[in-house]
Amino acid sequence: MTAATIISGKQISEEIRKGIALEVEQLSKQNIRPGLAVVLVGDDPASHVYVRNKEKACQDLGFYSEVHRLAAESSEDEVLALVDKLNAQASIHGILVQLPLPKHIREKAIIDAIAVEKDVDGFHPVNVGNLVIGDDSLLPCTPAGVIEMIKRTGIQIAGKHAVVIGRSNIVGKPVALLLQRENATVTMCHSKTHNMAEIASQADILVVAIGRANMIDASYVKPGAIVIDVGMNRLESGKLAGDVDFESVKEVSGPITPVPGGVGPMTITMLMQNTLLAAKRLNGLN
């Protein structure tokens, strides 16, 4: 058995970002500069890191950006008022409210308030509905990144059996819909699924987003299958681990994503791509 190819989210991100930077340069000739507003409420340390990385990506690519850091005690009404203001602000084409929010703020109320055309997270019910019926929409960043990584293996998705482990609204469900859109035959597994290893090991493409460190070992994997690990679990040691036991699985799988350096970097790159797209659309371009 030859060694599995590592699908590097970092490397793919760099390639995509080069293309985005070129488009930003072109748009600047028409006085258009993509603008992203990020709203961060509270003190979650990981969220602060992700938001800083988004800010840096904007800087590197020549986007206009605003980061609104609000205290953890901020009320839902304060966040809604900020979202309203950003909805109306011409220099902002994309709005992202970093999740999770403090418990007293309803995520749904905030997401529903974001203008559909500026919802670069693709979480607004209208964008989700358009994804379900196959209409054009802003796609959620992590799922879009997953599909991009699979496509870049050069292995055809159409006709393949894809198994998605996890059914969250922000990863599992949209990934399954996007795989169906690419004409895969999709099976979804979740915490109540019986004989999960048996089902997973029939997959040509296995996407794991279940939130349990190193849960998926080689017994879940068909030899040669593409394995995409969306998990991001902080261990007591401080190390980051995926949901897939990378060391054992890479011995049987085909192309496989690492954690870190896999799906994570793609999430931010797809956010930049969505913001660019939103900026073009809001300026009557496509």
Ligand X SMILES: Nc1nc2c(c(=O)[nH]1)N[C@@H](CN(C=O)c1ccc(C(=O)N[C@@H](CCC(=O)O)C(=O)O)cc1)CN2
Nearer to ligand X by Cβ, of 27 and 150: the residue is 150
If residue 165 lies in a helix (H) or strand (E), which one and from where to where? strand 161-165
Nearer to ligand X by Cβ, of 208 and 232: the residue is 232
Q: How far is CA 265 from CA 53, 70, 83, 188, in A?
A: 9, 25, 26, 25
Q: Which residue is nearest to ligand X (CB)?
A: 264
Nearer to ligand X by Cβ, of 99 and 155: the residue is 99
Whether a cis peptide bond, with omega within 30° of 0, leads into 100 is yes
Cα angle: 180, vertex 185, 190; to 5 degrees: 85
Is 98 part of the annotated catalytic residue set?
A: yes
Helix locations, the chain, DSSP H: 9-28, 45-61, 76-88, 107-113, 125-133, 141-151, 172-181, 196-200, 246-249, 263-282
Cα 114 to Cα 95: distance, rounded to the nearest angstrom: 7
User: At closest approach, how far in Å is the CB of 123 from ligand X?
Assistant: 7
Which residues are within 8 A (CB) of 278 and not within 5 positions of it... i.e. 6 or more apart?
Answer: 34, 93, 94, 117, 118, 120, 138
Choice among 54, 118, 173, 250 that is catalytic: 54
Residue 102 is given by DSSP the state: P
User: At closest approach, how far in Å is the CB of 51 from ligand X?
Assistant: 8
Choice among 119, 121, 229, 243 that is catalytic: 121
Nearer to ligand X by Cβ, of 65 and 267: the residue is 267
User: At closest approach, how far in Å is the CB of 219 from ligand X?
Assistant: 25
The residues facing 71 across adjacent strands are none
User: At closest approach, how far in Å is the CB of 120 from ligand X?
Assistant: 9
- Helices 45-61, 9-28: crossing angle, 10 deg rounding: 50
Is 167 annotated to bind a ligand? Reply is yes
Interacting residues toward ligand X by CB under 6 A? 49-50, 96-99, 121, 141-142, 232, 240, 259-261, 264-265, 267-268
Nearer to ligand X by Cβ, of 111 and 196: the residue is 111
User: At closest approach, how far in Å is the CB of 261 from ligand X?
Assistant: 5
Annotated binding site for NADP(+): 166-168
Catalytic residues: 54, 98, 121
